[in-house]
Structure formats: C-alpha cells, structure tokens
Amino acid sequence: MLVVLLGAPGAGKGTQADILTERNGLTHVSSGDLLRMHRQQKTELGQLAQSYMDRGDLVPDDVVIRMVLDKLSEETDGPGVVLDGFPRTAPQAKALDEALGGSGIDVVLHVKVPEDELVRRLSNRYICRGCSRPYTAESMGKACESCGGELYQREDDMPEAVRNRLQVYANQTYPLIDYYEGKGKLVEVNGLQDVDAVTADVMEALAH
C-alpha cells in the first residue's frame, strides 16, 4: 500500500504518519529526512542534491523522486509506505505517477484544518534549543523536560510568518489536491477533531 499524507503545517499529519507506522506497520517516508540522509551519507544522489543547494538552487523534482523511488524499492516486503512531504505540487505528483508506472498511489489523505486554527496552533508552539522537542506557550519560562534546554519560539512560528507559510502552502498544494481528486484518490479528513477521532477517520479511509 502506498499512502500520501497531505496537510498544512500544524494540521497534525506528522502525528498521523507516526500512528500509521506504529499501528499498521507502514514505513514513514519523509522527503526532508531522505534528503538529509543522502547528504549525510554522501551518496551519489546526496552529492547531486548538495551541488544544487551549494548554488542556492532548489533540488530538482527528478532528484527527489529518485530518492523516493530508491526508498520504495527497499520496502517491497512490508505492508506499505506513507509519504509525508512529497509530492508538494501537481507537477511533482504527475512525475511521481509516471515514475511509478502501474503501481501508483493507493490513497491520498488530506488532513484539513481551517487557517485560523492552524495559526493558533503554530503560533502557540515553542521549541527546545537543545533537542528541538516541541512545547506550548504555557511552558514558557520552564526548562525542557528532556534535556534541560531553553524554550524559544522560532521566527516562522510567529503569527504573521505563519500566515505567510500557510499562503505558500495553499498556492502550491491546492492544484495538487485538485489533481488527486480528479483521479478519485483523495479522501478529506477533518483535522479539527481530537487525535483519536482523526485517526479513526484515517483508518476507515484505508480500509476502503
């Protein structure tokens, strides 16, 4: 099974990806993690990606797709994979479909949350400087429970920056949602519910 998880920053798709990994045994594949791994291991793809980044360019879609396909080829014996963070745009989705050939994506889960709620969630988020563990604003003034580090709010988690991030996400992703909807692969999940209710809807979508 090949599942794509879509959701704006703060929608909770990372949480659902972790739950799918734990409950269904799906392998969680994040394009960002793949890119970091290839760069750290100095693989051929990692060095190619680094050459673009050193010039200040975005890593091309075909390089990221090759990383994703390499990972998928390693997971043929397991129950499946959940893709998180890729594809991000309709051209990436089309290129991935072409690369996958007949064995394409089974379902695309869109965890949907209104913008005002996303702004509230993200602007309430604080991070430990030491281990990057997330906290809420209520924890400010306290030390990190894991490493004792200082808690701070990233600039891109401040309300105005959050709205800009969400607008960029929307501009990129709405055509992607239309693309998968046109293929009959899209299932929308109400992300305003509590985590257990969102998970129940996700599991129901996977069962069909």
Q: Out of 36, 129, 142, 154, pick the active-site residue.
A: 154
Paired tokens of 101? 């050939």
Q: Is 42 a catalytic residue?
A: no
Q: Is 121 a catalytic residue?
A: no
Q: Out of 88, 94, 120, 133, pick the active-site residue.
A: 88
The three-state secondary structure class of 126 is strand
Q: Out of 13, 71, 121, 185, pick the active-site residue.
A: 13
Q: Is 39 a catalytic residue?
A: no
Q: Is 142 a catalytic residue?
A: no
Q: Is 88 a catalytic residue?
A: yes
Q: What are phi and psi of 103, to 5 degrees?
A: -90, 75
Directed axis angle between helix 61-74 and helix 31-40, to 10°?
90
Q: Out of 66, 94, 125, 133, pick the active-site residue.
A: 125
Q: What is the DSSP string of 25-89?
A: --EEEEHHHHHHHHHHTT-HHHHHHHHHHHTTPPPPHHHHHHHHHHHHHHTTTSS-EEEES---S
Q: Out of 71, 121, 165, 185, pick the active-site residue.
A: 165
The three-state secondary structure class of 124 is coil
Q: Give the residue numbers marked as catalytic.
A: 13, 88, 125, 154, 165
